[in-house]
């Protein structure tokens, strides 16, 4: 009885420890659980985790993963995993995932950070899918978009402004940075390669969704190959590529036929007659007539007649008038300009003018002069803007400079006439700008000295004349929109045919 009473406190202590640690705990004589054992044997691993703490087990098995495993807030659960014989090292990741799956946990591949995250299954969302509409959209890859028509720098600026980002790094120089070069080697997707898998409805819904970039996007224009380097996720790249393809379209072109003509009117007091010419019949069927005596009719009537002829006959009519001296064709260029691009032509010469002249006080008389050159001729600038309804907005700036017979300070006076306007013209329609009038008067007197100066009767011994020269400048413009290669060929053929049919 005494021996039984003596052993009672020991049994009571063992029972108390059993109740505190729980029914799943095996207690040794030292009152401690068995230690976790994961031993490597070359290419194989022996695993003996009996009633081990899950955090300790994950820590021991994560050494055989290809990336670090990060976890926090995991409850102190007890797990048991024991192999009867060593297993290959490649099987350890699969065994770890199976073990975690049995405990309601999962390893998530965080490729951006280069780690695995241990999270409960209920909240397990891959890092590359967060904030994405389809899988694989979070992993950033370097793409190359080759442009066909637009300039890389302009497209990059437009796309960044469209999405409210300032991710463009500017144009690439002669040598890209080392980090960018490494990214090109490691991450570049070939231009004709297939991008990461994307659900069919994802790209189709890009235009209908509120286009917003989910992650960081970097767009770098490379003018050397006229391409864009885009570092973004698959989802963001789909949005950027869709915008780029809409911008990178073939620009429309405008063929602008220009004719700058100067109509002259000369009146002489001494003769009292007008410059006139016989009527001339022109046209394909001889039914187009331009009357003579341009001074007896207004210049507006002349232009109205010319504009009413149309087509090839306009050119023929002006050439016929020029042959009589009524019209002087200053220039007739043909300009080809892209949409919203400036076309400029300058036909003329530079005339020297002495600005400063002085005699140097030296032994040998020397003359020092400062000469300034002045442009003389015709300048024309046109910026076309093509609208969808077949009209062309033309921004026209024209300037005509000519040296006159009048001289001041031993230099001819330069006559300048310029016009700047913005107008709307239908495709193929001819419009005219005019009203730039220049007047010059000449007064001369000749006769027998002394006698020609006698009042009243001096006219019997001499001659006085007054001459007024009046010229008005007209600008004829005919824009033709070229939308395809066939339009270019047709316009070129028409110009060649006109040059063969109408001869000066």
Tell me: pLDDT of 465 over 80. no
In this structure, the answer to whether residues 69 and 149 fall within a common structural domain is no
Cα 205 to Cα 159, 201, 211, distances in angstroms: 19, 6, 10
In percent, how much of the chain has pLDDT > 90? 5
* Structural domain that includes position 238: 139-165+214-249
Task: Give a yes or no: residue 408 inside a domain.
Answer: yes
Mean pLDDT on 273-288: 34
Q: Domain check: are 105 and 153 in the same one?
A: no
pLDDT in tens, 314-328: 555 555 555 555 677
Residue 114's pLDDT band, with cuts at 50, 70 and 90, is: confident
Q: What is the per-residue pLDDT for 321? A: 54
10 Å CB burial of residue 379 (0-12, 13-18, 19+) is middle
Q: What is the pTM of this model?
A: 0.47
78 and 153, same domain (yes or no): no
Partners of residue 81 on adjacent β-strands: 49
Is residue 148 located within the same domain as residue 103?
Answer: no
Q: Which of 169-178, 284-293, 317-326 has the lowest mean pLDDT?
A: 284-293
In a domain, 311, yes or no: no
Which of 44-53, 69-78, 276-285 comes out lowest in average pLDDT?
276-285
More confident residue, 118 or 293: 118
Q: Does residue 163 register a pLDDT over 50?
A: yes
In a domain, 306, yes or no: no
Lowest-pLDDT range of 58-72, 190-204, 361-375: 190-204
Instruction: Give the domain CATH number at 93.
Output: 3.55.50.30
What is the model's pLDDT at position 401? 84
Residue 437 has pLDDT above 50, yes or no: yes
Strand runs labelled E in 361-390: 366-386
User: Do 438 and 337 lie in a common domain?
Assistant: yes
User: Model confidence over 140-160: pLDDT tens digits?
Assistant: 788 889 998 889 999 999 888
438 has a pLDDT exceeding 50: yes
pLDDT-derived band of residue 309, with 50, 70 and 90 as boundaries? very low
pLDDT of residue 422: 92
Listed residues 88, 120, 152: the one ending a domain: 120
Looking at per-residue pLDDT, the higher value among 177 and 82 belongs to 82
232 backbone dihedrals φ, ψ, rounded to 5°? -165, 170
**Whole-angstrom distance, CA of residue 65 vs CA of residue 94:** 10
List CB contacts of 451: < 8 A, sequence separation 6 or more: 458, 461, 462
């Amino acid at each position: 009885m005494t021996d039984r009473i003596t052993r009672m406190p020991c049994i009571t202590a063992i029972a108390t420890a059993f109740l505190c640690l729980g029914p799943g705990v095996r207690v040794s004589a030292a009152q401690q659980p068995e230690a976790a054992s994961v031993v490597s044997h070359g290419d194989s691993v022996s695993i003996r985790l009996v009633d081990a703490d899950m955090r300790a087990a994950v820590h021991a098995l994560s050494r055989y993963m290809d990336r670090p495993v990060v976890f926090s807030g995991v409850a102190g659960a007890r797990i048991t995993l024991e192999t009867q014989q060593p297993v290959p090292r490649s099987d350890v990741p699969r065994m770890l995932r199976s073990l975690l799956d049995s405990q309601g946990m999962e390893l998530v591949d965080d490729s951006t950070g280069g780690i695995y995250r241990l999270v409960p299954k209920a909240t397990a969302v891959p890092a590359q899918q967060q904030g994405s509409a389809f899988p694989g959209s979070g992993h950033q890859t370097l793409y190359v978009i080759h442009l066909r028509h637009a300039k890389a720098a302009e497209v990059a600026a437009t796309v960044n402004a469209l999405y409210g980002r300032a991710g463009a790094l500017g144009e690439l120089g002669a040598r890209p940075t080392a980090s960018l070069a490494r990214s090109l080697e490691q991450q570049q997707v070939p231009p004709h390669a297939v991008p990461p898998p994307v659900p069919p409805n994802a790209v189709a819904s890009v235009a209908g969704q509120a286009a917003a970039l989910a992650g960081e996007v970097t767009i770098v224009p490379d003018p050397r190959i006229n391409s864009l380097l885009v570092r973004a996720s698959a989802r963001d790249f789909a949005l950027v590529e869709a915008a780029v393809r809409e911008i990178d379209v073939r620009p429309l072109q405008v063929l602008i036929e220009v004719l700058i003509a100067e109509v002259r009117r000369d009146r002489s007091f001494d003769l009292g007659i007008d410059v006139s010419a016989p009527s001339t019949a022109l046209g394909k069927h001889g039914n187009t007539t331009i009357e003579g005596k341009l001074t007896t009719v207004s210049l507006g009537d002349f232009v109205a007649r010319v504009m009413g002829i149309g087509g090839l006959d306009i050119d023929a009519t002006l050439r016929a008038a020029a042959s009589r001296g009524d019209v002087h064709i200053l220039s007739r260029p043909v300009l080809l300009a892209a949409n919203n691009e400036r076309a400029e032509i300058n036909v003329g010469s530079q005339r020297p003018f002495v600005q400063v002249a002085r005699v140097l006080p030296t032994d040998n008389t020397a003359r020092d002069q400062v000469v300034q050159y002045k442009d003389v001729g015709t300048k024309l600038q046109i910026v076309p803007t093509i609208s969808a309804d077949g009209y062309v907005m033309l921004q026209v700036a024209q300037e005509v400079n000519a040296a006159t017979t009048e001289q001041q300070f031993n230099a001819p006076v330069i006559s300048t006439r310029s016009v700047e306007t913005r107008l709307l013209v239908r495709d193929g329609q001819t419009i005219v700008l005019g009203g730039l009038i220049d007047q010059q008067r000449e007064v001369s007197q000749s006769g027998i000295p002394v006698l020609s100066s006698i009042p009243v009767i001096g006219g019997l011994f001499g001659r006085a004349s007054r001459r007024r020269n009046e010229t008005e400048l007209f600008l004829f413009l005919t824009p033709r929109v070229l939308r395809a290669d066939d339009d270019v060929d047709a316009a070129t053929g028409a110009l060649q045919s006109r040059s063969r049919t109408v001869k000066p």
